[in-house]
Amino acid sequence: MAKSNLISLWSSVLTELKLSLSKTIFQTLFTNTKIKEYQKQIVTISCPNSYLADLIEKRYYSLVKAALDRQTGQNTSLLFVVAKPTAKKNTKPGPLFNQPPTPHHQPLTISKTGLSSQFSFNNFVVGDANHFAFAAAQGIIKNPGANYNPFFVWGGVGVGKTHLIQAIGNELTRLHPDWKVLYANAETFGSELIASLKEQTINKFKYKYRHVDVFLVDDIQFIAGKEYTQDEFFHTFNSLYLAGKQIILTSDRKPEEVQPLKDRLTSRFMGGLTVDIQPPDFEMRVAILKQKAEQRKIDLPEDALTFIAETIQSNARELEGALIQVANQAQVQQIRPNLEFVKNFFGIKRTIPGKKASYRHIVSAIAKYYHIKTSILTGKSRKKPIATARHIAAYFLRRELQLPLQRVGQILGNRDHTTIMHAEEKIDRLFSTNQQIRHEIIAIRKKIYS
């Protein structure tokens, strides 16, 4: 098939894929792809790197094939290859980053509001996990104090609750510069209340919190079990609500699950709109990493960002933390980070290429790391810390040495192969979602190959 026809065919396929995929995943995976060859119903698709080629093949083979079948009228087979570089890369040393990455940007605080100007809708990534909360926030911007009052946002750590409500506060401050907007953490509210009682300035405290147009409270679960703080917050809430002022709250759980909390507060919290924000899906994680990398001016290739998004599946805060750690380590070593560097950072590849440890060395290293005897690690104890160490040992023996399930079971105390399979799957899952487990695995790997 002529080159012009291949371009036209792939353009039609991409048009179809755009309708089936989110904008983020389409741009991440398919923007730099093309058909290299089409012979005997075999379509060779060129990808910019091997990681994206593998990812597209694993996740979207059937989707791409279906689109090609419709466009060609044939039963096609797909072959994914890596495009050859068109020009030799410049190997001269250059700056790794436009500015040194730092663990945390210094937030710019708007006077007296408690808001940080780094939180805005411009840098808030919207996806399936938070689109409803985002839409509700836009409704509040248009008509504060009316439709969604109170607005209660709940979700796990690092999913963007604080970012969302501070973005609302910043936008309302911009639109209504004469309004009094106040952001506070529930713990701050409680500590200031106690301080005002000791200093006999309770009237000043009440004036501060009850004479505002928008009141944003983070982590409201922290008033649970604090009787006097709950009473004062109830009266503050009522005063603002009856005056038609906008109240926005966040928590790590639903209103009815914040315990112990007085019923009258629970009913108030549930009187408006309650929405949850879920952990980000893959597409959102990629978008978050791209946004954070651009914000911090970190130069990391697409396949490396995609790999981080696949590896860390918990929340935006961990994604940003991993990105910063990778950038800082690369800067210390004065190298430009790429996919291989990121894989090594996460311990996916051995620290010393070509060096292979014995199963005895691996088991011994894990036992030493957790300060237990090898006999206990391979023994019958089912105590949680020992069981976790044993699961990690199974994970290492399977991943590092590719030992059969039955052999790993023999090494770890003659355990059944299904037990080993379950252990490997569990640690693999925790590596993506549990920061502590991930750090432990990386540290153990370094010990094994040091």
Q: Cβ contacts of residue 297 below 8 Å, gap of 6+?
A: 97, 98, 99, 101
What pLDDT is recorded for position 356?
Answer: 67
What pLDDT is recorded for position 130?
Answer: 92
Of 88-102, 126-140, 179-193, 295-309, the least confident: 88-102
More confident of the two residues 89 and 346: 346
- Side-chain-side CA neighbours of residue 373 (13 Å): 5
Cα distance from N-terminal residue to C-terminal residue, the chain: 54
Of 49-58, 116-125, 311-320, 349-358, the least confident: 349-358
Q: How confident is the model at residue 353 (pLDDT cuts 50, 70, 90)?
A: very low
Q: What is the pLDDT of residues 243-266, one digit of tens each?
A: 999 999 999 999 999 999 999 999
Does residue 340 have a pLDDT over 70? yes
Measured distance CA(322)–CA(435) in Å, rounded: 10
Q: What is the pLDDT of residues 358-393, one digit of tens each?
A: 999 999 999 999 999 999 999 999 899 999 999 999
Region 95-100 average pLDDT: 48
What pLDDT is recorded for position 16?
Answer: 87
What pLDDT is recorded for position 355?
Answer: 54
pTM value > 0.85: no
Measured distance CA(291)–CA(140) in Å, rounded: 25
3-state percent breakdown (helix, strand, coil) of the chain, nearest 5:
55, 10, 35
What pLDDT is recorded for position 218?
Answer: 95
Which domains does the chain show, CATH number per domain? 3-82 (3.30.300.180), 131-277 (3.40.50.300), 296-343 (no CATH), 359-449 (1.10.1750.10)
Measured distance CA(278)–CA(57) in Å, rounded: 27
Does residue 347 have a pLDDT over 80? no
Q: How confident is the model at residue 314 (pLDDT cuts 50, 70, 90)?
A: confident
Helix or strand holding residue 55 (H, E): helix 50-72
Q: How confident is the model at residue 104 (pLDDT cuts 50, 70, 90)?
A: very low
Q: How confident is the model at residue 344 (pLDDT cuts 50, 70, 90)?
A: confident
What pLDDT is recorded for position 450?
Answer: 67
Q: Cβ contacts of residue 252 below 8 Å, gap of 6+?
A: 154, 155, 156, 157, 219, 221
Question: Mean pLDDT of all residues in the chain?
Answer: 87
Of 44-48, 121-125, 312-316, the least confident: 312-316
By CB atoms closer than 10 A (0-12, 13-18, 19+), residue 253 is middle
Most confident region among 76-80, 213-217, 426-430 by mean pLDDT:
213-217
Does residue 351 have a pLDDT over 50? no
Q: Residue 40 gets which letter from DSSP?
A: T
Length of the chain: 450
